[in-house]
Amino acid sequence: MEQKPIIDVRNVKKVYHVGSVDVHALRGIDLTIAPGELCCIIGRSGSGKSTLLNMLAGLEPVTSGEVVIANKHLERMTQSELILFRQRHVGFIFQSFNLMPYYTALENVAFPLSFRGVPRKVRLRRAKEALKTVGLESHMNHKPSQMSGGQQQRVGIARALVTDPEIIFADEPTGNLDSNTSDDVMRSICDTVRSKNKTLIMVTHDPHMAEFADKVINILDGKIIDIHYNEQPQSI
C-alpha cells in the first residue's frame, strides 16, 4: 500500500504587494513529501525556495492553494492554531544558529520544552540525550562563545530534535560554515534525522549540500522545474 504523504502542497501561490506592483513569489506549487524523506529545495537567490519553506512551516500565509501537513490544513488555521501546530509537529534549524548567548548548550536545547510545560528535571534529561545524539556530551555546559560554528550548529540540531517533532525545517543550515565543517554538519543532520525516522525539508543554494538528500526539488522563478532522487545520498 502506498504511503500517505506527510506533506501535500496543492497549487500554492504567493503574491506580495509591493507598492502598486504584484510580485509573484510562488506560481502554483504542487508537491508531496513522504514520511521519513530527506528533501532539499534548491534554487538561486530570489527563486522562491525560502518562501516555499515559510509556507510549509506555516510562517507565512498562502495567497491561494492548500498546504496539508500531518492531515492538517495550514491555510485554514488561525495564528494561535499555527503556533500550537509548530510546537507539536515541527523543529527548526537556522542558518544563524539563533542560540541564546548567555545560556549553556544544555539550557539552549532544553528551552523549547519549557513552552510545553515539561518539568525542569525532565527538560534537562531530554536535552542531555539530544546533545549526546549529536556528539556534544562534553560541551553541555559551554556557552555559544566557547564553541565553534560547527558545534553551535550541532546545538541547533539538538534543539530541533528535543521536542521529538515529525518534521524538521532547515534554512541554509550550513550557510555560515566553511566547506569542511559544512560537510560534517550535514552528515550530522542527515544521520540523526534518518536514525530517528524524521522528515527533513532543507533549503539551500549549494548543489553539493543537495547531494545529502533523498529527494531534490529544483525551484526557479516560483515554479518547480525538476524533482529527482539521489540513489546514494552522501551521508549514507
Residue 1's pLDDT is what? Answer: 52
Residue 103's pLDDT is what? Answer: 95
Tell how strand 199-204 and strand 21-33 pair up. unpaired
- The residues that bridge with 39 in the sheet, in sequence order, are 201, 215
CA dihedral 148, 174, 106, 190 (to 10 degrees): -130
Other Cβ atoms less than 10 A from the Cβ of 78: the count is 8
Q: b vs e for 5-34, b when ≥16 Cβ sit within 10 Å of the residue's Cβ?
A: bbbbbbebbbeeeeeeeeeebbeebebebe
232's CB contacts (< 8 A; 6+ apart) are: none
Residue 167's pLDDT is what? Answer: 95
Edge-to-edge strands of the sheet including 7-18? 21-33, 7-18, 64-69, 72-73
Cβ-contact 110, 124 below 8 angstroms: yes
**pTM listed for this prediction:** 0.90
Residue 52's pLDDT is what? Answer: 94
Show the domains of the chain with their CATH numbers. Answer: 36-63+78-229 (3.40.50.300)
Cβ-contact 153, 97 below 8 angstroms: yes
Cβ-contact 52, 60 below 8 angstroms: no
- At position 103, the amino acid (one-letter code) is Y
Q: State the cell numbers at 6.
A: 506527510
Cα dihedral sign for 43, 44, 50, 51? negative
Backbone phi, then psi, for 137, in 5-degree steps? -60, -25
Backbone phi, then psi, for 180, in 5-degree steps? -65, -45
Q: Which of 32, 5, 4, 35 is nearest to 193 (CA)?
A: 35
Residue 2's pLDDT is what? Answer: 60
Residue 95's pLDDT is what? Answer: 81
**Can you give the pLDDT of all 236 residues of the chain as single tens digits?**
567 899 999 999 999 999 899 999 999 999 999 999 999 999 988 899 999 999 999 999 999 999 999 899 999 999 999 998 998 899 999 888 889 999 999 999 999 998 888 899 999 999 999 999 888 999 999 999 999 999 999 999 999 999 999 999 999 888 888 888 888 888 888 988 998 899 999 999 888 889 999 999 999 999 999 999 988 887 65
| DSSP H helices in the chain | 49-56, 79-89, 105-114, 120-133, 149-161, 179-195, 207-210
